[in-house]
């Protein structure tokens, strides 16, 4: 027992930041060859009847980068600000109360001093979700829909000269098999027969979507995991086509703007702007249809060919280790772009906190409590919620 004491003390010291004596996983993640940050997934979304899972976050650094971060940690509370971000890998798995499950992996790499960026991942899931309709075409009661799907995504971007502008290419592919439990809710609805048949065709299908596209990014954020200042604006255009193995032909366009401002020494503000649009000839499968993704909004609850969202977040820093935050968002969906202005606004709001769990990487974790149009949900957050 006594022989183990020095080891236990040394192991404990690995998780203590000498700067403030608080818990910090930076040293463990950087010095342990198998070190990873476990992020629990507590699913409270009523759409899947709750659940749990785990994400493992692995950071990868060169010896030169390690030395630079170590020096920064000894002299600055915000050691990761404006340093080259480390590459990171992710492993994830989750299981829910309605027997849905998912497993996947991903990798984010920075090469050539950050001038080349790669993001990629893939996974497989068996998900049971209620289907409510597309845009303004809503059912009187939802249809229980099972989707078994495998998917991959990749993006490679290169910096334009020495600017914050990155240009690149991306790929998306999903192979899925969908099967509804029954169509009673659809058959009993007052929708026209041709619309009913289109929905049935979209929900009962074994299909593949495969697309190639272009991406442009403007990135001045001070940290890729938990930004405090800077901007990230991105424009993505993807063509899904039979020529690259897709069963459905359409275009996908995504415009996103993330803004981070420091208002005062302890106060910050964030603003998210998001627009996603597709142009199919009929209804797309639900997994390919744009959907509202916000804290407090059930997964897959609101879908349509056109989605527009915005969210503002205020953050108060209690020193460099703890933060409090509150957020308010709104979004709209429609099948026709001309109808987006007259569609109902979907409001989400909430509050939360963050803890600086890995100062070496500028990585925060915390908890958010959010209220949407129907339910109150809480989330464990790793990094930025956006």
Q: Which residues contact 216 (CB under 8 A, 6 or more apart)?
A: 165, 166, 167, 234, 235
Q: Say what the pLDDT of residue 36 is.
A: 79
CATH class of the domain at 111-382: mainly beta
Residue entry with tokens 């996983």: 25
Sorted by where each begins, the domain ranges of the chain are 111-382
CA distance 178 to 206: 6
Q: What is the pTM of this model?
A: 0.86
What value does the mean pLDDT take over residues 120-143?
A: 85
Q: Write the CA distances from 47 to 41, 99, 199, integer angstroms.
A: 15, 12, 20
Tokens describing residue 236:
């993505």
pLDDT tens-digit profile of 182-221? 777 677 777 788 877 777 777 777 899 999 999 999 999 9
Whether residue 82 is predicted with pLDDT greater than 60 in this model: the reply is no
Instruction: Of 156-170, 260-274, 285-299, give the lowest mean pLDDT range.
Output: 285-299
Q: Say what the pLDDT of residue 84 is.
A: 65
Q: Say what the pLDDT of residue 80 is.
A: 57
Torsional sign, CA 116, 170, 238, 230: negative
Mean pLDDT of the chain: 88
Residue 1 pLDDT class (50, 70, 90 cuts) = very low
What value does the mean pLDDT take over residues 253-261?
A: 99
Instruction: Of 255-269, 310-324, 333-347, give the lowest mean pLDDT range.
Output: 333-347
Q: Say what the pLDDT of residue 303 is.
A: 92
What value does the mean pLDDT take over residues 23-40?
A: 79
Q: Say what the pLDDT of residue 90 is.
A: 94
Q: Which residues contact 266 (CB under 8 A, 6 or more apart)?
A: 316, 317, 318
On the 0-12 / 13-18 / 19+ scale of CB atoms within 10 A, 5 is exposed
Whether residue 376 is predicted with pLDDT greater than 50 in this model: the reply is yes
Identify the residue with better confidence: 140 or 338: 338
Q: Which of 330, 325, 333, 321 lies closest to 384 in space, CA to CA?
A: 325
pLDDT tens-digit profile of 146-176? 999 999 999 999 999 999 999 999 999 999 9
Tokens describing residue 46:
């009523």
Q: Say what the pLDDT of residue 2 is.
A: 42
Residue 89 pLDDT class (50, 70, 90 cuts) = very high
What value does the mean pLDDT take over residues 112-125?
A: 95
Q: Say what the pLDDT of residue 3 is.
A: 47
Whether residue 7 is predicted with pLDDT greater than 50 in this model: the reply is no
Q: Say what the pLDDT of residue 386 is.
A: 93
Residue percentage of the chain with pLDDT more than 70: 89
Q: Please, which residues bridge with residue 147 across strands? A: 127, 178
Identify the residue with better confidence: 242 or 65: 242
Q: Say what the pLDDT of residue 34 is.
A: 61
Q: Say what the pLDDT of residue 165 is.
A: 98
Whether residue 11 is predicted with pLDDT greater than 70 in this model: the reply is no
What value does the mean pLDDT take over residues 79-102?
A: 83
Instruction: Of 34-38, 41-45, 257-261, give the lowest mean pLDDT range.
Output: 34-38
Instruction: Of 75-84, 106-115, 194-203, give the lowest mean pLDDT range.
Output: 75-84
């Amino acid at each position: 027992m006594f022989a183990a004491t020095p080891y236990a003390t040394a192991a404990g010291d690995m998780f203590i930041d000498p700067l403030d004596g608080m818990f910090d996983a930076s040293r463990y993640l950087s010095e342990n060859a198998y070190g990873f940050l476990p992020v629990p997934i507590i699913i409270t979304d009523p759409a899947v009847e709750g659940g749990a899972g785990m994400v493992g976050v692995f950071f990868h650094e060169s010896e030169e980068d390690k030395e630079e971060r170590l020096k920064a940690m000894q002299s600055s509370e915000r050691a990761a600000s404006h340093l080259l971000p480390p590459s990171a890998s992710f492993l994830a798995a989750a299981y829910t109360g309605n027997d849905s499950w998912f497993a996947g992996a991903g990798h984010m790499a920075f090469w050539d001093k950050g001038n080349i960026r790669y993001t990629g991942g893939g996974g497989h899931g068996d998900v049971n979700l209620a289907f409510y309709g597309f845009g303004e075409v809503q059912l009187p009661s939802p249809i229980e829909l099972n989707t078994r799907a495998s998917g991959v995504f990749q993006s490679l971007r290169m910096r334009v000269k020495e600017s914050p502008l990155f240009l690149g290419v991306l790929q998306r592919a999903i192979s899925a098999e969908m099967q509804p439990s029954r169509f009673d809710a659809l058959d009993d609805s007052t929708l026209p027969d041709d619309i009913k048949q289109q929905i049935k065709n979209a929900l009962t299908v074994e299909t593949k979507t495969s697309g190639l596209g272009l991406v442009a990014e403007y990135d001045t954020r001070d940290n890729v995991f938990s930004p405090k200042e800077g901007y990230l604006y991105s424009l993505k255009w993807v063509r899904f086509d039979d020529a690259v193995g897709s069963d459905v032909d359409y275009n996908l366009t995504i415009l996103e703007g993330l803004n981070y401002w420091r208002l005062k020494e302890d106060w910050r503000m964030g603003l998210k702007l998001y627009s996603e649009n597709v142009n199919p000839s009929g209804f797309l499968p639900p997994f390919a249809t744009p959907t509202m993704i916000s804290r407090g909004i059930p997964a897959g609850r609101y879908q349509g060919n056109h989605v527009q969202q915005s969210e503002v977040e205020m953050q108060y820093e209690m020193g460099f280790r703890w933060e409090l935050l509150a957020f308010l968002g709104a979004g709209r969906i429609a099948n026709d772009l001309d109808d987006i202005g007259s569609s109902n606004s979907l409001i989400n709001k909430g509050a939360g906190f963050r803890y600086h769990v890995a100062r070496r990487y500028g990585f925060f974790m915390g908890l958010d409590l959010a209220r949407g149009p129907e339910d109150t949900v809480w989330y464990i957050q790793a990094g930025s919620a956006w």
